[in-house]
Structures are given as structure tokens and as C-alpha cells.
Amino acid sequence: MTRHGNRGLRLYTTLYLAFLYLPVLLLPIFSFNDSIYVALPIKGLTLQWWSEMAAQTGMHTALANSLVVAVPVAFASTSLGLVAVLALFGRERLPGAPLVTGLFTLPLVVPYIILGIALLILFNRSGIGLSLFSVGFGHTLICTPFALFVLMSRFEGLDPSLAEAALDLGETPWMAFWRVTFPIVLPGVMASLLLTFTISFDEFLLAFFLTGNDSTLPLYIFSQLRFPAKLPAVLALGSAILLATFAIVIVAERLRRRGLGSTGNTD
């Protein structure tokens, strides 16, 4: 590539980044705008919408529900992913490994609406019924593949000989895992916990189909979109969620890549 093409591509990628970020950044900008309408020009700065948002009791309940779902989902899907990676990872290929990996990829490619109605029928026909538990079950299903792939990237930097050396030195498999493998993959485990938490916390469509009477935060936002007067408070709530998500994902990405060599030049 010539110098010219190089600069053109850099400009394009920068514009592409702007296209990706600007819509998202509008929410925080207009959450401070002193107007009930989301329109330019900005009228003035106000904290009114943020205090209005913080005072909504419905929001508090929805936030609590979201946490009640997302925290167990993060631990469940990360544990399931970790155990599955331990089984898949080894010096010898596991017979049937491509089939197993394919099965784990399925929740990522099946449209959520199909997954949503299929699980709705399952919970309804089995008599379990709809509640925050069914939401959590659906979220665990879609988060486990993410946990698996995040952990896999961590395990790829790890040589099975390390744990084998521990076994040869007389450790039990259980202790070899806790004292050798787990400390090395711990950053990956933390990253997986954070990312699966975020996926569950932000997920709308499965929760839409699988919840009983309880609202999670995205469902609460969706219900508020019908009322134009509540729009600015929704903007404030959305901005708070965006901020939290950004912070969590940045920490997770740093953790995921720590010690893998890729961030060696920045640390």
C-alpha cells in the first residue's frame, strides 16, 4: 500500500468509529439537556432528568431484579464454561470435539426470538412457569458460549505440561487444578464473569418472552418508551447503564489479555 492509501484507510476507520460511537454518545449528551425534546440545539444543562430517574421506585425494583438475574447467571455460565474448557483442552484432541463446539455455538446463531418462544413453550408446558428464574435460565444458555470462548482464548496460552508437571510431582488432579491451572486462567475467569454479567444485564428479547410479572431494567426502559414525558429520565437511565457497561467491558478486556503477550507493550 502506498502512503496515500494508508492515510485514506486510517481516515475511513476513524469515520467508521465515529459512526459506531456517535449514536451511543447521544444518550448521555441529551440526558443533561434542559428540554423535554431530544432536538438540537442544546437548550442548557440540567441535572433534573438524572434526579427524576433516580427517584423512580419502578426503576429500583427493575434494577434489583436485573442484579438478581445477572449475578447468578454470570457465575453459572462461567462455571459451566470453565468445566467445559477443562474437558476440551488437553494434549490429545477429544473425540467429537468439533461437534461439541458446534453445539455450544448454536445459541449464538439461533435468532433470539426463536430461542425466546421455544423456551416460553418449554417453561409453560413443563409447568415450571415464567419468573426471573426462566429469564436467568435463558440468559445462562446464551452466556455459556461466551464464557467458553473467552476462557478458551485464555487456555490457548497455557501449556498442558504445567499441570502435568504438578501431577508428576504428586499433586492430585483437583489440587493441580487449583494450584497451577486456576491461578493462570484467573484473569480469564474474571473477564468471563464480567462479560456474562453485562450480557445478561443488557439482554432484552429473551427477558421479554420469559419473564412473569417482574421487570428487568431493559424491560422497564421498553415500557417507559411509550410515554414521551418520561423520555428524558429514560435517557438518564440509559446513560447510567451505558457508562456501567463501558467500564465493566474495558476492565474485562484488560483482564482477558493480561499476560497473554498482546498487552505486553502497554503494561
Partner 1 sequence: MGGTRLHPDTCHSETSLRLDQSPPKSGEQGLDSSIARRLIVIQTYNTTILQEGNRIVASTATGPATGLLTRHWPQHPVIGRYALLSPALLLMLAGLLMPVLLLVGQSFVVESPEGWHAGLANYAAVLEGPQYQRVLARSIAVAALVATLTVLLAYPAAYFIAFEVSGNKMTWLILITLPFWTSYLLRVFAWKLILGFNGVINSALVYMGLIDAPLEFLLHNTFAVIVTLAHAWAAFAILPIFVSLQKIDRSLLEAAQDLGEGPAMTFLRVTLPLSMPGVISAFLLVFIPTVGDYVTPKLVGGPNGIMIGSLIQFSFGQLENWPLGSAIAVLAMLVVTALVCLFLWTASRARRLVA
Applying the rule CB under 8 A, the residues between 96 and 115 that interact with partner 1 are 100, 103-104, 106-107, 109-115
CB of 117 to partner 1, least distance (A): 6
**Binding residues for partner 1 restricted to 139-158, rule: CB under 8 A:** 140-141, 144, 148, 157-158
Query: 33: which strand partners?
Result: 45
Cell numbers 491461578 label which residue? 183
Residue of 16, 51, 64, 128 interacting with partner 1 (CB under 8 A): 16
DSSP 8-state class, residue 33: B
Q: Tell me if 19 contacts partner 1 by CB under 8 A.
A: yes
Nearer to partner 1, 214 or 221 (CB): 221
Assess 171 for contact with partner 1 (CB under 8 A): no
Residue type, 60: H
Rounded Cα–Cα distance for residues 146 and 149 (Å): 5
Which of the stretches 48-56, 57-65, 67-75, 252-260 binds partner 1 when contact is defined by CB under 8 A? 252-260
Q: Work out how close the CB of 57 gets to partner 1 at its nearest, in angstroms, rounded to a whole number.
A: 21
State the amino acid at position 206 in one-letter form: L
Among 75, 149, 177, 182, binds partner 1 (CB under 8 A): 177
Nearest to 235 by CA among 102, 89, 46: 46
**Is residue 122 within the footprint of partner 1 (CB under 8 A)?**
yes
Closest-CA residue to 202 (of 86, 69, 104, 78)? 69
Query: Phi, psi at residue 2, to the nearest 5°?
Result: -80, 170
Question: Which residues inside 55-84 make contact with partner 1, applying CB under 8 A?
Answer: 80-81, 83-84
Distance of alpha carbon 67 from alpha carbon 46, whole angstroms: 29
Q: Is 233 in the site for partner 1 (CB under 8 A)?
A: no
With CB under 8 A as the contact rule, the residue among 27, 59, 189, 233 that binds partner 1 is 27
Q: How far apart are CA 126 and CA 35, in angstroms?
A: 49
Does residue 45 bind partner 1 (CB under 8 A)? no
Q: Residue written as cell 440468559?
A: 139
| Residues forming beta bridges with residue 45, ordered by sequence position | 33
Phi and psi dihedrals of 33, rounded to 5? -80, 135
Kindly tell me which residue out of 41, 44, 57, 229 binds partner 1, with binding defined by CB under 8 A.
41
| Residue 178 near partner 1 by CB under 8 A | no
At 239, list the grid cell. 446513560
Q: How far is the CB of 33 from partner 1 (least distance, A)?
A: 11
Among 58, 98, 212, 264, binds partner 1 (CB under 8 A): 264
Backbone φ and ψ of 39, nearest 5°: -150, 150
Q: Is 117 in the site for partner 1 (CB under 8 A)?
A: yes
